[in-house]
Structure 1
């Protein structure tokens, strides 16, 4: 496919339709090169293109938040997408780096993106983007589409948890809500700055993108904003359900504590009397009487009934 191990795919958009390249380009104009970010032989190629060391560090940094920055006659754009690789958590978002340099586009990733793979498949089938600006807008749209799919799944899970929130095991539902809350917070951590990065890019994109592609990019910025608002709405719903569950738990605990207190109040005088008559000292009344035991039992029963009626009259329940 290519003579460089770090190149995942590359297309030449200077011709119509786009043509898949088979050799490593020395001139980026009109080309898209998709690279493996942690490949050891990537840096020498970036050096050969005249990309400054500071820009390379920003491209290859291990952990970066979404951002947009103009560099020379191009720009650097870092975006995040959901991790849909087998065994991974979608909210562990992956970083996709864009560098527009010398009229061409370089993208870098460390782990595979289904969103990028779908765009490559469209290009291979002849139904993909027709220029670099359209390619960039399509990649952003693919990232947003996968995030939307994950959010739809999170929303469906929240609906199920809300329907089951009145079940017999609120602790289990609280644990599930906490996990969902944590996943949404991780998504929110990167989507919020992603809206800002895309907003800055839309404002500066006239230099590199056509009017039609700028409109498409603006729509994708609005889509990202909608995704952010959806995440914030889901976070509020999770918090409301958690508050309701915690209130139900508190009410259940208070009710149990109340009945325990009432029961203890009924048996407190009875326990005192049985303890008093159970002491082994001389002079206890009724020791020699065969009816004293039944008299004490009757007295205790009477006291219990009187306490029950008194507590009921005082509306303790």
Structure 2
């Protein structure tokens, strides 16, 4: 069975690996490669209704929770920590808890699942299927928290750079904004799914595990609020950059206006005395050019002092 990645029996503590997993065993966890051939037929033989098979094997899903007469479906998303991948391109993990057995489905390697499998191999993992579900949600939150913390550090670094290179800041903020929007796209519905799971789990989970599940739901709530806050920070940072650009442009425009005001009379005089026609004063005098230059300097100094007295800067 190429589609079966792993299976564990939680009937005993610690859990033991299933040597020859059958089509259905209560208190067992089956982990599947979602896109492998033969999986649909195996699930059908296990007695799982076709609509549930379609729900866990469909290509594109968003996080959600669906209560069933004999269990529930929980669709989750976790950050993609594979080498060369973008963490915000979140991976899909589907959980089907049906008639006392847990089935999970993934298309690409899932770090949270890998961590729990490693714990089970060392006999330090969850003691029951309910404990496994809570531990899985905890691991997903831990991985998301690492990515969110990195984004928060990046925002703080950008805020400390000043506004000398606004083009570079805009590129960095755009990249961060895109990453956070992708995270927010799945964290928001994931929070709603976990809230429904928490309500449903109250009747099927022991009190202590249910409290741990509530804690993980609160962690997801905190991560969602943290992402929302960082999106607001990015918008504020962009507004500050736009304000800094506007102030810089206004300052440059102001100085250009001052310079134009100083040179306008001078340009007028040079234009007038540049007319090459008869009757121009000073044409026959050798000192005319020097006198004219001195007059231009005097006029420029007078304009400078006048603008300064009028508090133009």
Identify the TM-score tier after normalising by the shorter chain: over 0.9
Does the 8 A contact of 1:81 with 1:146 survive in 2? yes
Does the 8 A contact of 1:81 with 1:96 survive in 2? yes
What TM-score do you get using the length of structure 2 for normalisation? 0.95
In the alignment, does 2:67 pair up with 1:65? no
The whole-number CA distance in structure 2 between the counterparts of 1:162 and 1:137 is: 37
Deviation digits for residues 56-75 of structure 1 (CA, Å, limit 9, x no counterpart)? 22212222111000133111
In the alignment, does 2:254 pair up with 1:258? yes
The whole-number CA distance in structure 2 between the counterparts of 1:70 and 1:265 is: 76
Does the 8 A contact of 1:5 with 1:39 survive in 2? yes
The whole-number CA distance in structure 1 between the counterparts of 2:303 and 2:38 is: 87
Q: Partner of 1:298 in structure 2?
A: 294
The whole-number CA distance in structure 2 between the counterparts of 1:281 and 1:43 is: 99
Deviation digits for residues 78-98 of structure 1 (CA, Å, limit 9, x no counterpart)? 111111000011111111110
Q: CA deviation at 1:54?
A: 2.4
**Unpaired segments ≥5 residues, structure 2:** none
The whole-number CA distance in structure 1 between the counterparts of 2:24 and 2:185 is: 37
Q: Partner of 1:242 in structure 2?
A: 238
The whole-number CA distance in structure 1 between the counterparts of 2:46 and 2:70 is: 14
Measured at CA, do residues 282 and 57 of structure 1 come closer, stay the same or move farther in structure 2, by a change above 3 Å?
farther
Specify which of 90, 106, 111 is matched with residue 109 of structure 1.
Answer: 106
The whole-number CA distance in structure 1 between the counterparts of 2:45 and 2:303 is: 94
Specify which of 281, 284, 291 is matched with residue 285 of structure 1.
Answer: 281
What TM-score do you get using the length of structure 1 for normalisation? 0.94
State how many pairs are aligned.
313
**Unpaired segments ≥5 residues, structure 1:** none
- Aligned with 2:168: secondary structure? helix
Q: CA deviation at 1:117?
A: 0.7
Runs of 4+ in 1 over 6 A off after TM superposition: none
Specify which of 130, 134, 142 is matched with residue 131 of structure 2.
Answer: 134
In the alignment, does 2:45 pair up with 1:48? yes
1:70-219 correspondence runs (5 A): 70-166=67-163, 168-219=164-215
Deviation digits for residues 32-59 of structure 1 (CA, Å, limit 9, x no counterpart)? 0111111122111122123233222221
